[in-house]
Amino acid sequence: MKILIAGQIILLLFCKIHGEPLEWWKTMSLYQIYPRSFKDSDGDGVGDLKGILSKFQHVIDSKFDAIWLSSIYSSPMKDFGYDVTNYRGIDPIYGTMKDFENLLNKAHSSSIKVIMDFVPNHSSNKHEWFQKSVKKVEPYTDYYVWHPGKMVNRTRQPPNNWVNAYYGSAWTWNEERQAYYLHQFLPEQPDLNYRNEKVVEEMKNVLRFWLDKGVDGFRVDAVPHLVEAKELLDEPLTGTTNDSNSYEYTVHIYTTNQLETYEMVRQWRNVIDEYKNKSPRVLMLEIYGDPKETMDYYCYGASFPFNFRFIFTNQNTTAEQYRYLIDEWMDHMPIGSTANWVAGNHDNTRIVSSHGCDFAPVVTTMVQLLPGVAVTYNGEEIGMEDTILSWQETKDSQACRVGEKLFSSVTRDPARTPFQWDSSVSAGFSTNPKPWLRVHENYKKINLAAQKAVDKSYYKSFVKVTNLRKLPVIKIGSFGSMMLSDNVFAFSRDLNGEKSIYVVINAGYEAETVDLKKYDDTLDKVKLYTALPVFKDVKDGEIMESQKLHVNARSAYIFTAVD
Ligand code: NOJ
Ligand code: MG
């Protein structure tokens, strides 16, 4: 504890001397809360804002600096909040605006920032704007992207071959308006028309509404899909599938990452900067895709585009591949930008399920100790696993759309099941024994209370690692990496006048003895801060010969230099 407090003082001094106050978000440990599944306060089986408030101590105890709330906007829940009917309203299932303000106040009084989701690409088809657009009521007529389609052999067809990300054409016919409308996601999520200045202004005012309330920034949903090329040309085919309904059917050169999309991000940045005098705000973008196109968002005012590299690693990823993907991000980021690392979210497999329970904490260690922002999806701090749900239990519309045969390959429900607080009914998530998604059957073993009650546990290791983030060397230290053998690599964090930190990772399936002197030949001995996963025979604090370090299979060892 003492070293941590000393660390914070040194950091303050460092920033003073260099005259550059570090903006809070650049070093944050960010916690993604999926409100439906975090904590239910009223027994309806769905998580809510009062629930989050009642568990806020967990956010504090886990040393998070900020929370990002997945969408809590009013919604018919076709895509669980990513189909919005009121950008300024809280859905009653989550509570009221007062509940939101109470949560915001609690967070701020605990020095924790609150980041809202912002869903600009599409609204719900039940949104008043869309309902009026269908009827051509001004000014809403062109709030969405409408097209009469084209006649082929006297039958009407969509204007082009564009597909939506969830399977099927990106165009749906509307009888009432006698036109197709564009939707890059579900038909119930019509795309807003960013070529209409009124839409642009409406959405900027949405940002201002939440900034006026005091939120600390936004996670922006589905950014690449924002604007489409005007000409509505067919997209070229990938040639990898014959299924013209599959998102993999075309190369998305006209429907993603258009120049106008980058320019829109720049305009949002300007809006956010209207508020920066009070406190800097963060703008984080959800971008899956080409590394170069992703990086370009840094240059248009994004604090950062999410770095999803660790979401796509798995049990077979080698040490060399890990090292490469880390170095790739560090080397390609524009100079002076902030890196970030994401290994899980509500749309993807949980870390334990993709990497195994041994290696999952190793992935988390990388996320936490690499430079910049660390993002944790709720439940990852206790090593929750995906819950395998049957077709009958499935709720995710992406999965429901593709049918019983294919649902299991796309369903996002398994990573969204309730947080496992303790061993009571519904894992302490709800008094309701039948929550909206079934609780994982392992909850009696894997839950926060059980992990807090023992000396060594997944959660205790998580907190031990995140504690290091308070040290200046992790906050602002430089970064280097090196292969120590085919299966083992190391990275270091260094800062003048501070003890360097070395993280040695064995991604292989055999124990090895490695030489850390290869990394730094002045290093005779190192001190083990901790090792992950939890090993009975490995003792934190032990001094070791750096030339002969024994590293167990599938593990991470965190060392500090010894004077
Ligand atoms: C990304 C969100 O994370 C996901 O849950 C949602 O379905 C899509 N964007 C569409 O809004
Ligand atoms: Mg509830």
Residue 470 lies in a domain: no
pLDDT of residue 563: 75
Q: Are 177 and 134 in contact (CB under 8 A)?
A: yes
Catalytic residue among 40, 83, 286, 520: 286
Phi then psi for 265, rounded to 5 degrees? Answer: -60, -45
Q: Are 112 and 53 in contact (CB under 8 A)?
A: no
Residue 396 lies in a domain: yes
CB burial readout 145-166, b (16+ within 10 A) else e: bbeebeeeeeeeebbbbbbbbb
50: nearest Cα among 101, 99, 87: 99
Active site annotation includes 296: no
Residue 43 lies in a domain: yes
Would you give the DSSP letter of residue 23? P
Residue 497 lies in a domain: no
Pairing state between β 73-74 and 86-90: antiparallel
Angstrom distance (rounded) from CA 365 to CA 381? 11
What are the average pLDDT values for consecutive 10-residue runs of the chain, which has 563 residues? 48 46 93 99 98 98 98 98 98 98 98 98 98 98 98 96 97 98 98 98 98 98 98 98 96 98 98 93 96 96 98 98 97 96 98 98 98 98 98 96 94 98 98 98 98 97 97 97 98 96 98 97 96 94 97 98 85
Ligand 1 proximity of 83 Cβ (cutoff 6 Å): no
507: nearest Cα among 372, 353, 316: 316
Residue 456 lies in a domain: yes
- For the chain, the distance separating the N- and C-terminal CA atoms, rounded to the nearest angstrom, is 20
Phi then psi for 412, rounded to 5 degrees? Answer: -105, 0
Residue 62 lies in a domain: yes
Angstrom distance (rounded) from CA 102 to CA 61? 19
Best probe residue, ligand 1, of 186, 286, 347 (max atoms within 8 Å of C-beta)? 347
Q: Are 117 and 80 in contact (CB under 8 A)?
A: no
- Which ligand lies nearest the alpha carbon of 71? 1
Ligand 1 proximity of 221 Cβ (cutoff 6 Å): yes
pLDDT of residue 22: 87
Angstrom distance (rounded) from CA 48 to CA 213? 19
Count of domains for the chain: 1
Phi then psi for 116, rounded to 5 degrees? Answer: -95, 150
pLDDT of residue 6: 52
- pTM for the full predicted model: 0.96
Ligand 1 proximity of 377 Cβ (cutoff 6 Å): no
* DSSP secondary structure, 261-296, as one string: HHHHHHHHHHHHHTTTTTS--EEEE---S-HHHHHG
CA angle at 311 for the pair 306 and 314, rounded to the nearest 5°: 155
Residue 337 lies in a domain: yes
Ligand 1 proximity of 226 Cβ (cutoff 6 Å): no
Query: Exposed, middle or buried, 42 (CB in 10 Å: 0-12/13-18/19+)?
Result: middle
Ordered strands of the 146-147 beta sheet: 146-147, 179-182, 171-174
Active site annotation includes 235: no
Q: Residue type for 117, please?
A: D
Half-sphere exposure of residue 472: CA atoms within 13 angstroms, side-chain side: 18
**Can you tell me which atom of ligand 1 is nearest the CA of 286?**
1
Rg (CA), the chain: 24
- For 419, the domain range is 24-121+198-232+255-464
**Can you tell me which atom of ligand 1 is nearest the CA of 82?**
11
**Can you tell me which atom of ligand 1 is nearest the CA of 121?**
11
Residue owning tokens 């490469």: 324
Residue 109 lies in a domain: yes
Ligand 1 proximity of 79 Cβ (cutoff 6 Å): yes
Report the phi/psi class of residue 403: left, alpha or beta, with left for phi > 0 and alpha for psi in -120 to 50: left
Dig out the tokens for 135 from the structure.
């009827």
